[in-house]
Amino acid sequence: MQALLGSPVVQAALLAAAGAVAFSLRNVPGLVASWLQRFFVSTLSVDSRDEFLFSALVEYMDAHPALRQVNQFTARSVRRGTAYQSLEEDLRGGLAPRAYLSPGEGLHILWIDGRLLWMRRELQVAQSVFERISLSHFGRSGDWLAGFLQHAIDARASRESDTLSVYIPNPFHGGDWMRARLGSRRPLASVVLKAGQAEALLAGLQRFYATRERYAGLGIPWRRGYLLYGPPGTGKTSLVTALASELRLNVCTLSLASPVVTDEKIHSLLAGVPQRSLLLIEDVDTFFRQRDAAHAQVRLSFSGFLNALDGVATQEGSVLFMTTNHAGQLDPALIRAGRIDERIELGLCDADQLRRLYLKFDPDEAAARAYAAARAEQALAPAQVQAELMARLGVGSGRPVADAQGG
């Protein structure tokens, strides 16, 4: 036996066998951990491509008492002013954005409702960059995790039943949307246009949302596009906000001249518009002027935008609003039939508009008619009229002052 063991061949064979055993055993801890996780741990994953679910979970965790157990955070801000005001207007009104702290990237061990829960938050890179949150706990049933997620959904639904969310392209990578503002919903009556304009547009949108099967039967993409045009201050942006409010929708605002909007990103943006949202592309004439001037900030080509607009990736049921102060400067290819279904001019005030604007501030009908008669020939935009009436009648009038009309 000793002679046999002394053989170089046998020693080499024994060494190889020992190496093979050691190599196979090195994976045992990982295999055991994987087996334990498979049979004794339940895991739920949510990623930011599902904007509603991801935001609901993040915001629920923000407010949960378990957050006190975490010492690594990701901060984000949510505007508290009205959804149709700028950040500067919010700040002047004393409405600074509210900061939220959420568990940051990495692994967090939490004790929630008598359960040990571990949460992992990480960035994922695939065709786009997105965040993923995974929640795990001991137990083979996913019922508790499903209930926890439902609490998050219910909390967001309750919180947002009377609020309007405004989304913008994510400034960090531009390929998806992030919520920038949260404000009160705006009644359609607060936007004073020419008689019947707002009501007709609302009725048209209601018909559109009720005719999905009709579009499918005709083989026509279930999408609709509007062009709102007119001088500054005639209520274009305000109208879209009010329509979204009446239809219980949200608003996604997009500037084609933004440096984060590129030929590559525009496809994912149009495909990823959050559900139940109107897409608002403001001041499209600015994009054309800057493009023609070879402005360095513009990184989106006209052909790239049109391809994304027509592409199969664009969501079914999407409603697009474009606004412009100068309709004559737009390329006809952009507003042809099939891309823009209806063009609506929002002009300067007529006498009836002036009268109804006055009544928002003061219920005196005789005074309203006199004001309209005196201003009817002055070519005033609704925003100009409201600024004047706010200064003149805004404080102490017989009726609460409605929100400003602009755009």
Q: What is the DSSP letter of 327?
A: G
Written as one letter, the residue type at 91 is: L
User: Rounded distance, CA 322 to CA 255, Å?
Assistant: 10
Asked if residue 100 has pLDDT above 80, the reply is no
User: Rounded distance, CA 320 to CA 308, Å?
Assistant: 13
At 60, the pLDDT band (50, 70, 90 cuts) reads confident
- The CATH architecture one would assign to domain 177-345 is 3-Layer(aba) Sandwich (3.40)
User: Rounded distance, CA 402 to CA 262, Å?
Assistant: 38
pLDDT at 296: 57
* pTM value surpassing 0.85: no
Instruction: Tell the burial category of 87 from Cβ atoms under 10 Å away from its Cβ (0-12, 13-18, 19+).
Output: middle
Q: What is the DSSP letter of 223?
A: -
Count the neighbouring beta carbons within 10 Å of the beta carbon of residue 89: 14
What pLDDT, in 10s, does the model give residues 267-303? 888 888 888 899 999 988 887 776 665 555 667 888 8
Token pair for residue 381? 């935009």
Boundaries of every domain in the chain: 40-161, 177-345, 351-393
What pLDDT, in 10s, does the model give residues 237-268? 999 999 999 999 999 999 887 878 888 888 88
Angle, vertex CA 52, rays to CA 51 and CA 56, nearest 5: 115
Asked if residue 384 has pLDDT above 60, the reply is yes
Phi, psi of 290 (to 5 degrees): -70, -35
Among the residue ranges 71-80, 118-127, 260-269, 355-364, the one predicted with the least confidence is: 71-80
119: Cα within 13 Å, side-chain hemisphere = 24
